[in-house]
Structure 1
Amino acid sequence: MPDSSDITNKEKDKAGRVAFNDLLQPISGRIMLARILAVMSALLSVGPYIVLVQLSGTLLAAWRKDISPDPNEVKSAVILLLSLFLTRLCLYVVALAVTHFADIHLRRILQDRIAKRIARAPLSWFTKTNSGLVRKAVQDDTADVHTVVAHAPVDNTVAIISPIALLIYAFYLNWILGLIAIATIPFYLGAMAYMMRDMGEKTAEMDTRLGYVSATMVEFITGISVVKAFGRTGKAHERYRCASEEFHRFYLAWCGPLLRMSALAYSAISTSVLLLTNLGLGALAVNYGYARATDVIPTAIIALMIPQSIEVLANMTWSIQMAGAAALRIQKILNIPQISRASDQRGGDHDTTVPEEVVFDHVSFSYGDNLAVDDVSLTLKPGSVTALIGPSGGGKSTLATLLARFSDPDSGAITIGGVDIRQWPDAQLYRYVSFVLQDPQILRLSIRDNVRLGCPQASDEAIWQALRDAQIADEIAALPRGLDTVYGVDTHLSGGQCQRLSIARALLIDAPILILDEATAFTDPESEALIQTALTRLIKARQGGRTVLAIAHRPASVQGVDQVAILEQGRLSAVGTPDEVNEHPLYAALWEGTNA
């Protein structure tokens, strides 16, 4: 299985705990309050046992004298017993209420932080990030911390303080009975220590392996249509099967011995063993005069309470491991690189009806260590059409998406009208720049809402005009619900139809600057003709003109342009009119490839 992390599982476990503690900072005060209430509740757990011993003594004394116990004394003891129990229960419930409200508050904070972080993430991050990761962080991972936030502070505190307080009281009653109460605990703790010695590392490894199984499953399902078409289903399924079998072997090798050891550990603190040990040995202690009969029952009950506390702590340890893994995934989302945002007032003087000059000034950009755009300087004159041509992987789409501010350049600047686009507010920039990509994104919304995504106030009349200009009005009108048809629910559209719908969206926005990223790359000839007609309408039919940056592999697909820029290996090798770059070797080779 490929290693999905540069850190060891032990380091991952430690990092998860640190990350989780960092996430708890906003509610640390509430957690502390809950722990204080839990300590008070745990200390009060001793009270009923003290009253029980006194009541047992009263009843036993009356039995020995063959008289009825004092009813007032019995009544007072019962009332005190119930009062202590109810007070302890109320403190415990209030403590849990505090942590549950804290959990709700923390979940809202985390979801808000994740949403704000995603909102300020570079658009390029979304193209390389699985949407399942975002959904898991927002929904599943914020829910995974519930047990540790809403229950652990209270239950762990009670599980630690309560048995300690009870054992102190047991030893106060009789040190021999106190030792008997904990006689089997060392066997259990020794076995548990053996089982838990690598728990953090193993849990982290399990999380990694499960993630790999999930990734191979998604990969297999996503590409099933392709692999079936080429008869390679068995080969594609092999990676998922191997990942699943590796996880199965790992889990059996880890958990098999643990189950056997766990059975031995829990037998040492089972109810039958504890009762036999405490009542049997307690009776012997009473018989030889080392203990009072009235002390045996309370210490036996205390002995029965201790395993419950240990089990709570053991179960919570697993929850803490899972919460740490969830915290790391949440932290990964919260560490997404951010694009700086200008204030809503900046750039407000720009007239969005008139195109301005676009300048790429010594722009460079890298994907990690891979340089995609290298010191590119290019000017797009207002109202001009520039074709960006070059081989695949040359950096064309990257350069265009930098203008759309999917990411920011590593160095250099892109200006519109002399203003760096990083100083433009988003709302202003995306009224000024629109784009039609080769892979159009249609949302699970009505056709109406999809088309007016960038222009929410658009009327139906304006929407139908955009659809007509995009050569898709007749097909939308033929749908049973017309503009109210929900994409992905009521109907599905072909790739060409989706592309024309995205062109209609761009027509409605009517931005002065337009980016076309090989909009006809994956369409059939009939759809390509319709899309070309729609694109021609989109480019030319605008009052005030439109500045266009069109990306293409083939020179033939961008004829009639004002300027051609040839980009290879991230660098501009030529810029000029079609006639001026006609003799360029790459341009000539691309023409020959088109005519071949």
Structure 2
Amino acid sequence: MTEKTPTSPRSGQKALKEVLGPIQGHILLARVLAVIASVLAIAPYVAFLELARLAAEGADRDRMMTVGMWLISAFCLRLLIYFIGLTITHFGDIKLGFVLRQRMINRLASAPLGWFTDTNSGRFRKSLHDDIAQIHQLVAHAPVDMTIAVVQPVVTLVFAFFVDYRLGLLAISAIIVYALTMMVQLRGMGDKTMEMDHRLGDVSATMLEFARGITVVKAFGVTGQAHGAYRRATKDFSVFYRGWCGPLLRLSAIGEAIVAVPLLLAINIGVGTLMVQAGWVSFAEVLTTTLIALTLPACITTFATAGWSYQLAGAAAHRIVTLLHTEQLPAATAPHLPSTYDVRFDDVSFSYRSDDTSDTAIDHVSFALPEGTVTALIGPSGSGKSTCACLLARFFDPTSGAVTIGGVDVASLSAEQLYRTVSFVLQNPKLIRASLHDNIALGRPDATRADVEAAAKAARIHDDILALPDGYDSVYGEEIFLSGGQAQRVAIARALLIDAPVLVLDEATAYADPENEALIQQALSTLARGRTVLVIGHRPEAIRGVDQVVVLESGRLVASGTPAEVAAVNPYYAALAG
């Protein structure tokens, strides 16, 4: 499943609105405090003018100290309010991260297991960690900083015009030109940001693909050819980025030159001096409005930077919302577990793309697995074998028809009910970063060490585990790693411990070496004893001794019956059985 990003800034902003819903109160309160802090920003300028007036009048020291104390109090109050606002937004950020992660986990707990096989774990990690981190700047800083960047210039300019409208016009003159250059720079920024995000995704994907296949690529001496896709992706990104940023850098340089401190000082002090000589204003008033003019570019830059953060956060929010809208399996309705364990596929059809009925993986398939028997499901690659196994384990729900166990539709069973009834051993066993004891006891956390060891012995993995330095307490993925065959036998031990009456084996020995394959086959024979078993395989060893055979081709049932009956009518099985 490919990762999606917003196709337009509007979709990103819509996603942001949904994502930020739980902390709108935090954001609103922080903005109110930021407005108060912005109003208090005029305190230094008011105090400066008042001190200049008192000095000109020859006022006593006490009056000047009073103004100074008032200034310090206003400054400290502004800092306090500012930091309270940031504290509120940071607590909001912590709350949002917790809420989003909780919602993701809860949502994915009800997602079809097939979603996890189709979706790269990196995508889930990106949303769970990287995308939430991407929103941090927007939540923890932008509400306060952007509000101040908007309100403070307005408040200080109003004060500048209050001092003298001509000085106010002088203070704002250079800023208008700078603001225009910033507007030109930001034009189309949303679309360009989305395109950059998409192109960076292409670079990451091709780099990951190359890294994964490096062993095979180097072995066959085609490094340059395989590296071509990555080079093309990086070249395309480089051309795009240079074409976008080159003109912006030149424009940015012009804008920065316009609001450079020496130039602003020269303009405001120079023109202001002429006004003083004309008797229109005092020099203290010129200095006050000049100081105001010097603060305006930083506010505009802060606003522009926050705008960029909004665009990046919009893309991240869209990915988070996509994950939060992951399809969920319908809620369970069965009041109890099946009392018998025969399995039936009743006119089952399924398409991996619900919007494309022409792309049907299995088409009106019906067959039965009598209780306590072993059924081999075979067919060419792409015939629908693994899809049937996925439907029985409820990785997905059928598009039409039903899969039942003991007459109970598996779609009506809760996850807990289903996986107490059905266990499965797949081609690629999944072990978690935990002790081998915990890996085996994953389906039965309350199992004793004796239960775990008994399952491991039956799965022919007990001796291998005891040979490890910490035995069953060895942590997989940190202290030790296992071969594919060993990991498969750990998975079989896990299935044995669950002791489910229905078992799905999906080519469980496909990648095992001969020694491991023999051990796995012994373990599987123990596991299958007394259970209703569906075996998927395309090698004679995997299906030897089964009770019945079902043959699929292109998603359709073409033969079923005992091995002898199917061998007589189906060339594919006859050739496979030898």
Distance 1:145 1:285, change over 3 A: same
The answer as to whether partners of 2:547 and 2:562 remain within 8 angstroms in 1 is yes
State the partner residue of 2:38.
42
The answer as to whether partners of 1:389 and 1:555 remain within 8 angstroms in 2 is no
Displacement of 1:4 in angstroms is 8.0
Distance 1:219 1:95, change over 3 A: same
State the partner residue of 1:406.
395
State the partner residue of 1:589.
572
The answer as to whether partners of 2:338 and 2:407 remain within 8 angstroms in 1 is no
Displacement of 1:179 in angstroms is 1.0
**Is 1:23 aligned with 2:23?**
no
Equivalent of residue 120 in structure 1, options 110, 115, 121: 110
Runs of 5+ consecutive residues of structure 1 not aligned to the other structure: 63-68
Three-state SS of the structure 2 residue aligned to 1:574 is strand
Task: Write the distance in 2 (CA, Å) between the matches of 1:228 and 1:500.
Answer: 32
* Deviates most, 71-80 or 509-518: 71-80
State the partner residue of 1:481.
470
Task: Write the distance in 2 (CA, Å) between the matches of 1:359 and 1:260.
Answer: 70
Three-state SS of the structure 2 residue aligned to 1:573 is strand
- Which runs of structure 2 are paired with 1:92-491 in the superposition (5 Å)? 92-342=82-332, 346-348=334-336, 350=338, 355-368=340-353, 369=356, 370-491=359-480
- CA deviations on 1:235-271 (whole Å, 9 max, x unpaired) are 2222112211221222122212212211110111121
Task: Write the distance in 1 (CA, Å) between the matches of 2:563 and 2:369.
Answer: 15
State the partner residue of 1:66.
none
The answer as to whether partners of 1:554 and 1:591 remain within 8 angstroms in 2 is no
Displacement of 1:292 in angstroms is 2.1
The answer as to whether partners of 1:556 and 1:591 remain within 8 angstroms in 2 is no
Task: Write the distance in 1 (CA, Å) between the matches of 2:504 and 2:154.
Answer: 70
Task: Write the distance in 1 (CA, Å) between the matches of 2:136 and 2:404.
Answer: 47
Displacement of 1:204 in angstroms is 0.8
* Deviates most, 205-214 or 444-453: 444-453
Task: Write the distance in 2 (CA, Å) between the matches of 1:147 and 1:589.
Answer: 61
Displacement of 1:562 in angstroms is 2.0
Task: Write the distance in 1 (CA, Å) between the matches of 2:138 and 2:541.
Answer: 62
Task: Write the distance in 2 (CA, Å) between the matches of 1:557 and 1:572.
Answer: 20
* Deviates most, 106-115 or 356-365: 356-365
The answer as to whether partners of 2:567 and 2:574 remain within 8 angstroms in 1 is no
State the partner residue of 2:56.
60
Task: Write the distance in 1 (CA, Å) between the matches of 2:92 and 2:526.
Answer: 56
Paired letter, 1:571: R
Task: Write the distance in 2 (CA, Å) between the matches of 1:233 and 1:347.
Answer: 58
- CA deviations on 1:401-439 (whole Å, 9 max, x unpaired) are 111111111122222222222222211211111111111
Task: Write the distance in 2 (CA, Å) between the matches of 1:290 and 1:131.
Answer: 70
Equivalent of residue 522 in structure 2, options 521, 533, 537: 533
Three-state SS of the structure 2 residue aligned to 1:362 is strand
State the partner residue of 2:544.
559
* Aligned-residue RMSD, C-alpha: 1.9
- Equivalent pairs counted in the alignment come to 573
Task: Write the distance in 2 (CA, Å) between the matches of 1:98 and 1:538.
Answer: 56
Three-state SS of the structure 2 residue aligned to 1:359 is strand
Task: Write the distance in 2 (CA, Å) between the matches of 1:482 and 1:507.
Answer: 19
Three-state SS of the structure 2 residue aligned to 1:579 is helix
Three-state SS of the structure 2 residue aligned to 1:514 is strand
State the partner residue of 1:517.
506
Displacement of 1:556 in angstroms is 5.6
Displacement of 1:350 in angstroms is 4.7
The answer as to whether partners of 2:568 and 2:574 remain within 8 angstroms in 1 is no
Displacement of 1:53 in angstroms is 1.2
Three-state SS of the structure 2 residue aligned to 1:448 is helix
Three-state SS of the structure 2 residue aligned to 1:405 is coil
Task: Write the distance in 2 (CA, Å) between the matches of 1:500 and 1:308.
Answer: 63
State the partner residue of 1:65.
none
* Deviates most, 140-149 or 334-343: 334-343
Displacement of 1:348 in angstroms is 3.8
Task: Write the distance in 2 (CA, Å) between the matches of 1:129 and 1:385.
Answer: 31
* Deviates most, 136-145 or 447-456: 447-456
Displacement of 1:56 in angstroms is 0.9
- CA deviations on 1:369-418 (whole Å, 9 max, x unpaired) are 32111112222211111111111101111111111111111122222222
Displacement of 1:347 in angstroms is 4.1
State the partner residue of 1:573.
558
The answer as to whether partners of 2:3 and 2:123 remain within 8 angstroms in 1 is no
The answer as to whether partners of 1:176 and 1:290 remain within 8 angstroms in 2 is no
* Deviates most, 46-55 or 396-405: 46-55
Task: Write the distance in 2 (CA, Å) between the matches of 1:474 and 1:82.
Answer: 75
- CA deviations on 1:328-364 (whole Å, 9 max, x unpaired) are 1111211211112327xx544556xxx5222222211
Q: Percent identity?
A: 49
TM-score of the pair, normalised by structure 1: 0.92
Equivalent of residue 79 in structure 2, options 65, 76, 89: 89
Paired letter, 1:129: T
State the partner residue of 1:548.
533
- CA deviations on 1:452-495 (whole Å, 9 max, x unpaired) are 11122222222222222222222222222211122222222222
Displacement of 1:444 in angstroms is 2.1
The answer as to whether partners of 1:555 and 1:591 remain within 8 angstroms in 2 is no
* Deviates most, 496-505 or 458-467: 458-467
Distance 1:565 1:590, change over 3 A: closer
Task: Write the distance in 1 (CA, Å) between the matches of 2:120 and 2:541.
Answer: 35
The answer as to whether partners of 2:206 and 2:230 remain within 8 angstroms in 1 is yes
